[in-house]
């Protein structure tokens, strides 16, 4: 029985942080151990250019950074194919073909697109680019070029997968059953909040802890985390539910430690500084093996490049086979 192909990926706009770790990376490591699956992970440099079109150096640099993050958390290139999106020309071809199957009005109604456009106002103003509006179409090409059956996503990404499914159904209704219709797998993890309590975590907000952060950087960032604003003195009774330090304890500390933090905070028996120091240590201990593996790849960039080259070659071969089927169905297979 053929393996089910799983498609995931990230935009190379910066190093990956703990939000990525809890949101998708841990799940990917788990999935690659299942013999029923054939995982593919794309580094979506073309998609990153939709809102970084004037900073290609940033995108190029971060391709290797993201690859090193993958390897450091345990993504195994012998079990998971890691490849670079821009090196797969078939994806660009499919994007053009699919663009005839989707209306502008449908793209504008996509809830995920609407939300992200609102978040990018400082970049676009009122002038949204065609590339950004149409990235759900290119994402559909990313998935279908590799006959992706399963796509692990968070709830906020479900509208994009549904749009892909619509494109597949439309294509197959016109040209025959050629494309595989993907299914979404909910990651089960909610988006991790930033240290400042913001629902979004990122470099521009200065509220993220990165997988590559040193112990000193982690300590500094945790000490700046938002706590209960009504708690002034050490013996004031606090409210853990409005404290980001407690929020992170639930991610990085043991159940027993977390219960102790909660009860002592409510009773005014533990100061915020001591609580932050314990949290910083737990985060640093969790990320230590990841940092160590990453340090190895930072000093062996040729190994990272080799993994990307081999993964991309495999992905290219897979996409070519899909494109043969697509062009035959569309009667574009001239001279064959």
Same domain, 72 and 143: yes
Query: 223-228 — which CB contacts under 8 Å span 24+ positions?
Result: 223/273, 223/276, 223/280, 224/195, 225/195, 225/196, 225/276, 225/279, 226/195, 226/196, 226/197, 227/272, 228/265
Q: Could you tell me if residue 29 is inside a domain?
A: yes
Token output for 14: 């910066």
Q: Which of 137, 138, 152 is closest to 182 using CA atoms?
A: 152
Q: Please, which pLDDT band fits residue 140 given cuts at 50, 70 and 90?
A: very high
Q: Is position 33 within any domain?
A: yes
**pLDDT tens digits, residue range 9-24?**
999 988 899 988 888 8
Under DSSP, the state recorded for 22 is I
Q: What is the CATH number of the domain that holds 255?
A: 1.10.240.10
Does 153 share its domain with 26?
yes
Q: What is the pLDDT of residues 284-321, one digit of tens each?
A: 999 999 999 999 999 999 999 999 999 999 999 999 99
Q: Which CATH number fits the domain that encloses residue 183? A: 3.40.50.620
Place of tokens 């989707």: 102
Q: Model pTM greater than 0.85?
A: yes
**Domain range for residue 34?**
4-193+300-329
Whether 164 is covered by a domain: the verdict is yes
206 within domain boundaries: no
Instruction: Check whether residue 167 and residue 217 sit in a common domain.
Output: no
Query: Do 90 and 224 share a domain, yes or no?
Result: no
Q: Is there a contact between 62 and 109 (Cβ–Cβ < 8 Å)?
A: no
Q: How many domains does the chain have?
A: 2
Shared domain check, 73 and 184: yes
pLDDT digits (tens, 9 = 90+) for 59-80: 999 999 999 999 999 999 999 9
251 vs 130, 234, 245, 258, 327, CA distance in Å?
39, 24, 10, 9, 48
């Amino acid at each position: 029985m053929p393996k089910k192909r799983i498609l995931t990926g990230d935009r190379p706009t910066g190093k990956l942080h703990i939000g990525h770790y809890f949101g998708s990376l841990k799940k990917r490591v788990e999935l690659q151990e299942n013999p029923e699956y054939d995982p593919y992970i794309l580094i979506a440099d073309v998609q990153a250019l939709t809102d970084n079109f004037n900073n290609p150096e940033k995108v190029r640099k971060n391709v290797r950074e993201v690859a090193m993050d993958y390897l450091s958390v345990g993504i195994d290139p012998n079990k998971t194919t890691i490849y670079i999106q821009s090196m797969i020309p078939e994806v660009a071809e499919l994007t053009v073909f699919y663009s005839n199957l989707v209306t502008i009005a449908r793209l504008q109604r996509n809830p995920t697109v609407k939300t992200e456009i609102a978040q990018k106002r400082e970049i676009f103003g009122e002038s949204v680019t065609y590339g950004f509006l149409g990235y759900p179409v290119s994402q559909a090409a990313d998935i279908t070029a590799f006959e992706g059956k399963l796509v692990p996503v968070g709830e906020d990404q479900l509208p994009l997968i549904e749009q892909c499914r619509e494109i597949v159904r439309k294509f197959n209704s016109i040209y025959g059953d050629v494309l595989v219709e993907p299914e979404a797998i909910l990651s089960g993890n909610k988006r991790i909040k930033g240290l400042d309590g913001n629902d979004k975590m990122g470099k521009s907000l200065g509220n993220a802890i990165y997988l590559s952060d040193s112990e000193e950087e982690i300590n500094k960032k945790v000490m700046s985390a938002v706590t209960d604003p009504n708690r002034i003195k050490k013996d004031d009774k606090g409210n853990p539910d409005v404290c980001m330090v407690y929020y992170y304890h639930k991610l990085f500390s043991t159940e027993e430690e977390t219960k102790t933090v909660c009860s002592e905070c409510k009773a005014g028996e533990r100061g915020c500084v001591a609580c932050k120091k314990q949290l910083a240590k737990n985060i640093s201990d969790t990320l230590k093996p990841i940092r160590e593996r990453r340090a190895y790849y930072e000093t062996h960039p040729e190994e990272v490049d080799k993994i990307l080259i081999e993964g991309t070659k495999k992905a290219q071969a897979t996409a070519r086979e899909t494109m043969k089927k697509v062009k035959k169905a569309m009667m574009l297979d001239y001279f064959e």
